Homo-oligomer: A and B are copies of this chain.
Amino acid sequence: MFFEGSEKKIEVIVTPGFGSLRALGREFWNEMVACANAEILSSINNEHCDAYLLSESSLFVWNDRFLMLTCGTTTLAKAVVRFISEVGADKIAFASYQRKNEYLSHLQSSAFTDDLTAIRALLPGDAFRIGHLDSHHHYIFTSNKPYEAAADDHTSELLMYHIRGEAADYLRGEHQSAAEIRSLLQLEAMLPGFVFDDFLFEPFGYSINGIRGDRYMTIHITPQENSSYVSFETNLPLEGEYRQIFSRLLGILNPGSWDEIGFNARRHTENYPAHLCLGSCALSMAQGYNVDFSHYQQLCHEVLIPEPM
Contacts and interface: CB of A to CB of B under 8 A. Distances in A.
A130 to B, nearest CB: 5
A288 interface: no
Q: How many copies does the complex hold?
A: 2
A302 B279 contact: yes
B276 A276 contact: yes
Contact of A127 (B108, B128, B309): B309
Query: Which of A133, A136, A305 is most buried by chain B, counting CB atoms within 10 A of its CB?
Result: A133
Interface of A: 101, 103-106, 108, 111-113, 116, 126-136, 139, 161-162, 226-227, 256-257, 276-281, 283, 293, 297, 301-309
A166 B133 CA distance: 23
A278 B306 contact: no
| A contacts with B: majority SS | mixed
11 contacts: A106-B106, A106-B111, A127-B308, A127-B309, A129-B306, A135-B257, A279-B302, A279-B303, A281-B304, A281-B305, A293-B304
B227 A133 contact: yes
A97 to B, nearest CB: 12
A116 B305 CA distance: 20
Contacts of A301: 276-280
A162 B161 CA distance: 23
B132 A309 contact: no
